[in-house]
Amino acid sequence: AQTVTQSQPEMSVQEAETVTLSCTYDTSESDYYLFWYKQPPSRQMILVIRQEAYKQQNATENRFSVNFQKAAKSFSLKISDSQLGDAAMYFCAYRSAGGGADGLTFGKGTHLIIQP
Amino acid sequence: DTGVSQDPRHKITKRGQNVTFRCDPISEHNRLYWYRQTLGQGPEFLTYFQNEAQLEKSRLLSDRFSAERPKGSFSTLEIQRTEQGDSAMYLCASSLVRNSQINYGYTFGSGTRLTVV
């Protein structure tokens, strides 16, 4: 079974600064997907960014980028120019690319605080 | 389209009672998922449907839990004989899969918070 570990229960960053959230995972599979989701206090999970394991290029979405290290099984999220609206719980998630299985395995989350 | 809708937003029930939650996915999405999220944890996968077929069930889905998606549109999750350990947020998500192409985007609802007293 796959596991996802987020070792930072809480992170704090000054507005406009850059912050990196860590995620490691354990799997024996070679093909899979990785995601970062944001869950604001309103509770709805929002997809921030995704990465296909077969792609070497790191995914980017505006101010959000990842550092995907497949050999190290590491998938960190970098948020540049942090904004107050970025404050939320951030979850790292894994999805197998195998047929049939379609559930996401989530980490425990990192609570991101933005200091004005 | 207003996204994934879940009803009710909150449910308080006495231990031993049955509860049922509803999820309305994005209309063109053929896959629907249920997750459970307890305080301080990430969501845990329970089950998913492709159209009306339930294709995968987690070991977390005990015999007291049943999910249906009778017409391939909305879904219900029923918990029988609720226990205090069932208190959690129940999240629904949907996605679109075409020609067996593995999808990688899920749209989540806002969840139903269940409190068992």
Write the pLDDT tens digit of every residue in A82-103.
999 999 999 999 988 766 677 8
Nearest-CA distance B107 → chain A (Å): 7
Long-range own/partner contacts, residues B99-102 (CB < 8 A, 24 or more apart): B100/A99, B102/A33, B102/A97
**pLDDT of A82:** 98
Give the residue on B whose Cα is nearest the Cα of A107: B42
pLDDT band at B101 (very low <50, low <70, confident <90, very high): low
Q: Are B8 and B110 in contact (CB under 8 A)?
A: no
Instruction: Enumerate residues 32 to 91 of chain B having a beta carbon within 8 A of any beta carbon in chain A.
Output: 33, 35, 40-45, 48, 55-56, 58, 89, 91
Does position B98 have pLDDT exceeding 70, yes or no? Answer: yes
Cβ B48–A103 below 8 Å, yes or no? yes
Cβ B56–A101 below 8 Å, yes or no? yes
Does position A115 have pLDDT exceeding 70, yes or no? Answer: yes
Tokens of A65: 């980028």
Average pLDDT, stretch B14-26?
A: 97
Give the residue on B whose Cα is nearest the Cα of A99: B102
pLDDT in tens, B39-95: 889 999 999 999 999 998 998 888 999 999 998 899 999 999 999 999 999 999 999
Alpha carbon separation from A44 to A81, A88, B6, B14, B25 (Å, rounded)? 23, 11, 11, 26, 14
**pLDDT of B99:** 64
Which residues are CB-neighbours of B112 under 8 A, at least 6 positions away?
B6, B7, B8, B9, B10, B11, B21, B89, B90
Chain A residues within an 8 Å CB radius of B89: 43
Apex A79 CA angle, A73 and A81, nearest 5: 160
Nearest-CA distance A15 → chain B (Å): 25
Q: Are A13 and A114 in contact (CB under 8 A)?
A: yes
Q: Residue B52 class from Cβ within 10 Å (0-12 exposed, 13-18 middle, 19+ buried)?
A: middle
CA distance B26 to B109: 10
More confident residue, A10 or B2: A10
SS3 state of residue A53: coil
Q: Is the peptide bond before B8 cis (omega within 30 degrees of 0)?
A: yes
DSSP string for residues in B38-86: -TTS--EEEEEEETTEEEEE-TT--TTEEEE-TTSS-EEEEESS--GGG
Average pLDDT, stretch A48-66?
A: 94
Does position B100 have pLDDT exceeding 60, yes or no? Answer: no
Q: Residue A16 class from Cβ within 10 Å (0-12 exposed, 13-18 middle, 19+ buried)?
A: exposed
In chain B, % of residues over pLDDT 70:
94
**pLDDT of B105:** 75
Tokens of A113: 């605080």
